Amino acid sequence: MNGADRFALIRLDRESRDPMALARALAEARSTPVQDQVLAAKRAWGIVAEDLAESEARSLAEALTASGVKCAFGPAAALADLPAAEPATTIGALPADPPVLIAAAGLTVTTTTRRTEQTGPTGAQKAASAAIMMTTGLPIKIGGRKRKVRKTREEKRLAFYLDLHYEGPARRLRIDASHFDFSCLEERMLYQAMGNLKLVLEDRVEAAPEAWLNHGTRVLLEGKPIRTMGYESVEDLDREARWLLTLRGRGT
């Protein structure tokens, strides 16, 4: 069976972000405990499945819809493809045309650094060893021998992204709040990246009232806690965008 024979299942309510409702519906449809479906529901981001046989996709769509989670199925090949994200570091890099989708996300990024350190006795320990030697004549060393130790350090930080999707031709401009020149905000510019990104976001939404908005954008505009976004990686943001652009292409 080739890829053209596989089917995808997508949610139809583009403003719904309720993983637990989806998990309960999936559990009922698959006759499993709810907790077994929570991870899949959180990672769905609108695309419930994308590698099903037609009969399985139809059956699952009917079951989920009956449980209150409206879904539709179609060929997996019909899911929207995303163009590569082009970094935008200034406001002038953005196209003059309004975007069709405005998608923001805040997530925790972990940076791992590894380095080799040389350990051994400190100055105080060396002095103590010398004192013992002078007092007792015994070569007792405090602090052990010098040795190289490889250490790993992890740093976590909040990262904020804003993807602007355009049509004719399809383009995607990505603003990374930590690498964007916010001087365009002039006297409105704040001293923290999230606040500045929110201002740019508000300007983009005001300039493109017909654009679709993703979950992260609504969270920022409504002033809700960042933790309610639910993004674990930029792949989640990309998956959600594929879903929304697919819905938009359907005229849903």
92 has pLDDT over 50: yes
Task: Annotate the chain with three-state secondary structure.
Answer: CCHHHCEEEEECCCCCCCHHHHHHHHHHHHCCCHHHCHHHHHHHCCEEEEEECHHHHHHHHHHHHHCCCCEEEEEHHHCCCCCCEEECCCHHHCCCCCCCEEEEEEEEEEEEEEEEEEECCCHHHHHHHHHHHHHHCCCCCCCCCCEEEEEEEEEEEEEEEEEEEECCCCEEEEEEHHHCCHHHHHHHCCCCHHHHHHHHHHHHHHHCCCCEECHHHHHHHCCCCHHHCCCCCHHHHHHHHHHHHHHHHHCC
Mean pLDDT of 77-97: 96
pLDDT band at 130 (very low <50, low <70, confident <90, very high): confident
Expressed as residue numbers, the domain containing 131 is: 113-152
Measure CA 100 to chain center: 20
What is the rounded average pLDDT for all residues in the chain? 91
125 has pLDDT over 90: no
pLDDT in tens, 196-249: 999 999 999 999 999 999 999 999 999 999 999 999 999 999 999 999 999 999
Count of structural domains within the chain: 3
> Do 104 and 219 belong together in one domain?
yes
8 has pLDDT over 50: yes
> Do 14 and 97 belong together in one domain?
no
> Do 232 and 133 belong together in one domain?
no
Domain boundary among 152, 171, 206: 152
**Which pLDDT does position 52 carry in this prediction?**
96
Mean pLDDT of 157-163: 95
| Structure-model confidence comparison of residues 114 and 8, the more confident one | 8
**Which pLDDT does position 1 carry in this prediction?**
42
Domain boundary among 152, 181, 204: 152
Taking the CB of residue 181, how many other CB atoms lie within 10 A of it?
13
> Do 52 and 8 belong together in one domain?
yes
> Do 163 and 242 belong together in one domain?
yes
> Do 25 and 65 belong together in one domain?
yes
Non-local CB neighbours of 232 within 8 Å, separated by 6+ positions: 107, 108
Non-local CB neighbours of 191 within 8 Å, separated by 6+ positions: none
3 has pLDDT over 70: no
> Do 189 and 98 belong together in one domain?
yes
> Do 57 and 136 belong together in one domain?
no
CATH number at residue 15: 3.30.1390.10
> Do 104 and 207 belong together in one domain?
yes
**Which pLDDT does position 112 carry in this prediction?**
78
> Do 50 and 147 belong together in one domain?
no
What is the model's pTM? 0.82
> Do 21 and 74 belong together in one domain?
yes
Mean pLDDT of 120-148: 71
Domain boundary among 96, 130, 152: 152
Taking the CB of residue 80, how many other CB atoms lie within 10 A of it?
17
> Do 186 and 227 belong together in one domain?
yes
Mean pLDDT of 151-175: 92
For β-strands 171-176 and 85-87, DSSP reports them as parallel
